[in-house]
């Protein structure tokens, strides 16, 4: 009985000493190995909001900033190199922003793993969407400008760029959630229209978006 107790104590001490002598980098490697890889395709859905800023040198085209809701679908493919993750991403979305239609974008992202399940990244690429505008002839009224004549302008497909940053966290090996900020700039849209008395007017309108997206993603 006493011999069995001594052997049990010696075995416990030996096991503790062996684990204490295990190098920390091996323990870290085992932890990383148990975490799923970020390499592979993924799809997701997102919703968010933002602000549309439009400006023009023409007083008749001044537009106040407008808040909007955005939502859409996205997909991508990532490659993991130890703690670095790089990949491709694309999305198609619609928004409640005035004078805009369905848009799409394609870009790259690159980031670093703060933990095996938390990715901090930057992203950027090209964005395209249809922009609508109206040219108003207005007169002063008792409660503000009164539109006399409105000239609808044809919707044009605008090509711009976007940059942003975000964080993505894995809840499971397949499911993750992400939050991302984006700034998009569609440049200056120049139009020449026929106005009153057979005169022509050249209009210029620049558009910029600031938005935040909340996404739910699934990895295959």
Summarised one tens digit per residue, pLDDT across range 5-57 is 444 444 554 455 445 454 544 444 444 434 589 999 999 999 999 887 766 55
Which whole number is the average pLDDT over 163-179? 96
Provide the pLDDT for residue 33. Answer: 37
Bigger pLDDT: 25 or 146? 146
d(CA 151, CA 137): 8
Is pLDDT of 145 > 80? no
pTM above 0.85, yes or no: no
**pLDDT tens digits along 183-212:** 988 876 655 555 555 555 556 666 788 999
List the chain domain ranges.
Answer: 44-219
**C-beta neighbour count of 184 within 10 angstroms:** 22
d(CA 132, CA 129): 10
Cα 137 to Cα 55, 146, 162: the distances in Å are 17, 8, 33
Confidence class for position 67, pLDDT limits 50, 70, 90: confident
Read off the tokens for 159.
């090509």
Provide the pLDDT for residue 92. Answer: 93
Which whole number is the average pLDDT over 121-139? 74
**pLDDT tens digits along 76-119:** 999 999 999 999 999 999 888 666 667 889 999 999 999 999 99
Residue showing tokens 């139009």: 191
At CB < 8 A and 24+ separation, what contacts does 108-114 make?
109/76, 109/85, 110/84, 110/85, 110/86, 111/84, 111/85, 111/86, 112/83, 112/84, 112/85, 113/38, 113/80, 113/83, 113/84, 113/85
Provide the pLDDT for residue 208. Answer: 80
**If you count them, how many residues does the chain have?**
220
d(CA 111, CA 120): 5
Cα 52 to Cα 92, 103, 108, 140: the distances in Å are 18, 14, 23, 26
**Contact between residue 207 and residue 54 where contact means Cβ atoms under 8 Å apart:** yes
**Of residues 196, 201, 208, the one with CA closest to residue 51:** 208
Which CATH number is associated with domain 44-219? Answer: 2.40.160.20
Provide the pLDDT for residue 30. Answer: 40
Provide the pLDDT for residue 68. Answer: 83
Query: Looking at the DSSP assignment, which residues form a beta bridge with residue 175?
Result: 218
Bigger pLDDT: 67 or 213? 213
Cα(first)–Cα(last) distance of the chain, in Å? 56
């Amino acid at each position: 009985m006493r011999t069995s107790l001594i052997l049990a104590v010696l075995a416990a001490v030996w096991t503790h000493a062996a684990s204490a002598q295990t190098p920390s980098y091996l323990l870290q490697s085992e932890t990383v190995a148990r975490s799923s890889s970020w390499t592979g395709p993924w799809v997701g859905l997102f919703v968010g909001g933002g602000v549309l800023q439009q400006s023009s040198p023409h007083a008749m085209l001044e537009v106040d900033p407008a808040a909007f809701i955005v939502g859409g679908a996205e997909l991508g493919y990532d490659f993991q190199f130890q703690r670095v993750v790089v990949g491709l991403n694309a999305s198609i979305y619609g928004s409640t922003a005035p004078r805009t239609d369905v848009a799409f974008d394609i870009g790259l992202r690159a980031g670093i793993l703060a933990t095996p399940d938390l990715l901090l990244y930057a992203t950027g690429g090209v964005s395209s969407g249809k922009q609508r505008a109206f040219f108003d002839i207005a007169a002063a009224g008792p409660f503000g400008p009164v539109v006399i004549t409105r000239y609808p302008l044809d919707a044009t497909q605008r090509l711009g760029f976007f940059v942003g940053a975000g964080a993505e966290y894995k809840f499971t090996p397949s499911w993750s959630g992400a939050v991302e900020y984006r700034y998009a700039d569609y440049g200056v849209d120049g139009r020449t229209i026929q106005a009153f008395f057979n005169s022509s007017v050249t209009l210029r309108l620049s558009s910029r978006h600031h938005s935040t997206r909340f996404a739910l993603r699934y990895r295959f």
